Amino acid sequence: MIRMKNQIPVLFSLAALFFTGACATEETVYVNEDAKRYFDAWLSVNHPEATPSGLGVYIIDELPGNGETIGDADAYLFVEYTVRDLDGNIKETTLEKISKQVGTYSRSNYYGPRVFLNNRAATPAGFLEMIKGMRVGGTRTAIVPGWLNVKADHETADDYLKEESGTAAIYTCKLTGKTDDINKWQIDSLERYVAKHMGDVDSTFYGYYYKQIRAPKDSLQIPRDTSFHINYTGRLLNGQVFDTTIRDTAKVHGIYSASKSYAPVQINMSESHSEITLGSLGTSSGSTLVEGFSYCLSKMGHNEKGICAFYSPFGYMHNGSGNAIPGYSPISFEIELVDKAE
């Protein structure tokens, strides 16, 4: 959201000063005065019985959950949501069903709960206000004024009104879970995934797992100053494929693009796994890789095939990647070293 200055000075005209005979004075017009008048008028027409919370969020519908209540120690919240503007237009949703209804669905997108920090510096204050006190499994719909739909931490509702500016929205949110330790939550998710898909192998180190599917054709280490080619498929732990070099896999999972060349890609080795790069065929340099992927490559041998899985600190961290990989997502890669480009 764009942050605006808290007030705009408006000077009286010289003519006004002449007639009043006063000294130069200054009056202030707060940035949200017009927005508040419009919001209050809209509210009186559409939800005249709604009453505000402490900060000024209006909860208009609720289905209580029967799980644990959000507490101050719960640093991470898992939420499904749909956002509408005041005209009722859907602006964003994490729900597959609604995305299909409004024509924005894509099989390459992730649909499901997103992780929010229980912190106003990272999550809009109005959003946190609306889910305050919810139980896991519960759903709420609330109207959030624009001055609360911002990432900022102020003491009072009046402070937000005077100092922040944003766009009013109607949120419908379902609280699906919560945790005070996001890394432990990811490890628990990985342990379940590994038990089901990787033969319950032990972690190589905290947050990283590897299962060999095919042994290398020899015991020689791949030289650190050379290159080779791989096929790979990247997945979320729910099985959704977000990237692959294999055409048929892309088609099966609905992420095929006619503009992409599906073929083994070149990997450029290095002394340090963090400096391994992925490049186009015939190039000597390329883009860097997430740490879990590059570490896996550094330990594989000629013609080896395997699956690595790791938590988000070795992957796309708290940001995720586009619409396909949400923040704080453990991911897996199936990797096969091939003799040459096919």
Residues 205-240 pLDDT 10s: 999 999 999 999 999 889 988 999 999 999 999 999
- Please give the pLDDT value at position 30: 61
- Please give the pLDDT value at position 287: 87
Write down how long the chain is. 342
Q: How confident is the model at residue 75 (pLDDT cuts 50, 70, 90)?
A: very high
Burial of residue 199 (CB within 10 Å: 0-12, 13-18, 19+) is: exposed
Q: What is the pLDDT of residues 290-330, one digit of tens each?
A: 999 999 999 999 999 999 999 999 999 999 999 999 999 99
Comparing C-alpha atoms, which of 65, 58, 78, 69 is closest to residue 139? 65
pTM: 0.86
Task: Examine domains 30-180 and 183-338 and report if their fold is the same.
Answer: yes
Is 223:306 a contact under the CB 8 Å cutoff?
no
CA distances for 131 relative to 63, 146, 194, angstroms: 12, 17, 33
Domain boundaries, the chain: 30-180, 183-338
Domain with residues 183-338, CATH architecture:
Roll (3.10)
Is the pLDDT score of 68 beyond 60? yes
- CATH 3.10.50.40 corresponds to the domain 30-180: yes
